[in-house]
Amino acid sequence: MWRRLSERLSVPGMLWLSVFAFTWILSAYSRDISRALDAKWIIKYPPAWRLSLKNDISSAMQWLIEDASFGLFSFTDMTRGIAWAIDQPYNLALAVLSTGFVEGLGQEAVEVLPAISWVAVVFLVVAMGQYTKDWGLAALVGCAFIYLAVFGQWDSAMITLASILIAVPFGVLGGLLLGIAAYKWRWVDKLLRPILDLMQTIPIFAYLVPILFMFGFGPVSALIATIIYAMPPMVRVTALALQSVPSETVEFGRMAGCTPRQMLWKILVPSSRSALMVGVNQVIMLSLNMVIIASMIGAGGLGYDVLASLRRLDIGAGLEAGVAIVVLAIALDRLSQAFAERRVDLMRSNRNRHLLLRYPRTILFVLVGAASLLGGYLFPILQSYPESLQFTTGVFWEDLVRDININFFDQLEALKTFLLTGFLLPVKRFLIGIPWPWGLVVISFIGWRLGGWRLALMALALSGFIVANGLWIKAMTTVYLCGVSVVIATLIGVPVGVFSALNSKADRIVSVIIDTLQTLPSFVYLIPVVMLFRVGDFSAMIAVVLYALAPAVRYAAHGVKSIDPQLIEAGIASGCKPLQLLWRIRLPLALPEIMLGLNQTIMLALSMLVITALVGTRDLGQEVYIALTKADTGRGLVAGFAIAFIAIIADRFIATGAERLRERFGLVKQEN
């Protein structure tokens, strides 16, 4: 038996197997070994050897806020200035959409002008839908906003909308300017590139901490975090869009005698308008993604509702607010997409009409707004949607969950126990048991085998950082949670992807489901999962799997679809049965693509892990989360970097692995 096995395995296979076996033994007996050698440091990195990076960062922040000064003004003046600049438009938007304009404070406050009525807002979005595309879109966004009113989410939704309305222009403008700078000056580009890459892998929470520290708890901090989070894709999109303006167009601009400024604003930016609008859409979607997270540092609105009900474990309310975020996201997404794709030539006929006819929607909107404002004093229903006509589905969801819990308790519990004891816990024990010195050796070894000594050194340095900051155990917990989730997501996602690549009907259904999964804000996954499985690793894993499933499916489907049909025909011609075709030809050839999907799955899983800290995991995410609640900048950043480094190591390993597979199959490298 053993001989047959070893005959079938190649030499590298044997090598990896023995490394794994050795690691397993070390892991299982690490305690005994350390006791026998009387070397506790083997399993626990001694606190005395730790870097004091955490404290250094924290005291640097302290210094920034208390003492730093740029001559004319201090650092605190600067943060106050920024806060003020953001606060003003935000208060205006909030007054228009939600609170109304009031004079005086507290009890004496007198409403000067009420907020814009729900009727007018619905009319506005309908008009925008019709303007940017057609009546279909108008109906969709109209229904979405009416939904918000009917299901009692209006007030919160308007607060959220106000913050989106402020965050998006700041994000777009900032991204645009940075992108332009990167286009114009090579050194800016060189500087920005690694920062943007890092920002994509650092969990958002990590930079919530310094923001919280500098700007305090409140909507301004939340807005700043949202802007920083949503800006990077705009920077990339802008730089790319400007670079892809045809060289002849640029030459034309120079021949027409454009000054550099005219070149930028009259030629480059407008002719890449549609590409830039894709960036705007990204900024909107990312801002909405941030809604719940931002509420941790002071944003109100729907995000706060979700977070609060999650903490109360009030599933119904949480789900309702979560769905409201999704509804808002869909409406804004479709609207901004339609705006990006809108063809200007459709409106040509307008140009020569009378002023009143030229802007029918704007004028109608002003009329409706004024009418509902005046009418609102007589008939309050015009101003705000009456509570008596609101529905709530909260009770329904709660009952549903209770029913499921009562009727299927045993089955759910059995599933949970089975997976926990059979899979999750053994993996966890194995990974956590690995003594850190050996862990470093193995990581460097893998790096060396895959990509030579450079990759080995990089992996060693990054994992060394984690160890040196005393985060080894927590990092391994992260790797474990991420690992099991990715394995399960792959086990589900790849077959589904392959199946949908081979069956066009399934493909259509699957892509609708995947699209929906991807538009949901990550928090929404937590609510039903926690309801059914309560807090803990298992719930976290399910939520991560749901969130990270999409790329596994997508890449597998794409990989199988893009196999050269001639190879399939060759397989059929040489007499392969369908199943052989799948195992011998389709899967191996799609493997590099599937690995890229795996890469994406890991990235998403890592970013979701931080969020699952809310349901009581004990990994790096929890570390970041605790730092947030304590406003401990150093701790949060260091843990954030640790997560980013895990992501970078995984990314480099898988990318070089996929590259080697490609070379082995002689496939050309594709841009992804």
Partner 1 sequence: MEIPVKLSCQHVWKLFGDGAEAFLSANDNVPSLQEIKDAGLIGAVRDANIEVREGEIFVIMGLSGSGKSTLVRCLSRLIEPTEGELLLEGNDLRKASSQEMIEIRRHKMGMVFQHFALLPHLTVLENVAFPLDVQGMDRSAREIKAREVIDLVGLNGREDYYPRELSGGQQQRVGIARSLAVEPDIWFLDEPFSALDPLIRREMQDEFMRLQAMLHKTIVFITHDFDEAIRLADRIAIMKDGAIIQIATPEQLVLNPATEYVEEFTQHIPRAKVLTVRSVMAVERIEEGERIDADARIESIAKKVVDSGRSLPVVDKNNEVIGSIDREAIINVLVGGELSACGVG
- Can you give the binding site for partner 1, defined by CB under 8 A? 246, 248-249, 251-252, 254-259, 262, 266-267, 270-271, 273, 344-345, 348, 351
Cα gap 537→553, rounded to integer Å: 24
**In angstroms, what is the minimal distance from the CB of 341 to partner 1?**
13
**In angstroms, what is the minimal distance from the CB of 185 to partner 1?**
17
**In angstroms, what is the minimal distance from the CB of 279 to partner 1?**
17
184: tokens are: 């114009």
Please give the torsion angle defined by the CA atoms of residues 636, 638, 642 and 643, in that order, rounded to the nearest 10 degrees.
20
**In angstroms, what is the minimal distance from the CB of 350 to partner 1?**
11
Distances (CA, A) of 394 to 120, 304, 317, 397, 401: 28, 17, 5, 5, 11
Cα gap 44→470, rounded to integer Å: 9
CB-nearer residue toward partner 1: 265 or 408: 265
**In angstroms, what is the minimal distance from the CB of 280 to partner 1?**
16
From the number of C-beta atoms within 10 Å of its C-beta (0-12, 13-18, 19+), residue 404 rates as middle
**In angstroms, what is the minimal distance from the CB of 624 to partner 1?**
44
Q: Which residue has the tokens 């070893």?
A: 6
46: tokens are: 């001694």
Q: Count how many residues are written for the chain.
A: 672
CB-nearer residue toward partner 1: 193 or 266: 266
CB-nearer residue toward partner 1: 340 or 412: 340
Whether 65 and 76 have beta carbons less than 8 Å apart is answered as yes
Give the 3-state secondary structure of residue 113.
strand
What is the DSSP annotation of 445-473?
Answer: HHHHHHHHHHHHHHHHHHHHHHHHTT-HH
CB-nearer residue toward partner 1: 344 or 579: 344
CB-nearer residue toward partner 1: 8 or 348: 348
**In angstroms, what is the minimal distance from the CB of 344 to partner 1?**
6
Return the beta strands (E) in 473-526 as ranges. Answer: none
Whether 137 and 347 have beta carbons less than 8 Å apart is answered as no
**In angstroms, what is the minimal distance from the CB of 237 to partner 1?**
17
CB-nearer residue toward partner 1: 349 or 504: 349
CB-nearer residue toward partner 1: 250 or 568: 250
CB-nearer residue toward partner 1: 3 or 348: 348
**What are phi and psi for residue 102, nearest 5 degrees?**
-125, 155
CB-nearer residue toward partner 1: 250 or 532: 250
Give the 3-state secondary structure of residue 599.
helix
Contacts of residue 546, Cβ cutoff 8 Å, sequence gap at least 6? 517, 525, 529
Cα gap 131→350, rounded to integer Å: 13
Whether 324 and 156 have beta carbons less than 8 Å apart is answered as yes
166: tokens are: 């402020």
**In angstroms, what is the minimal distance from the CB of 244 to partner 1?**
13
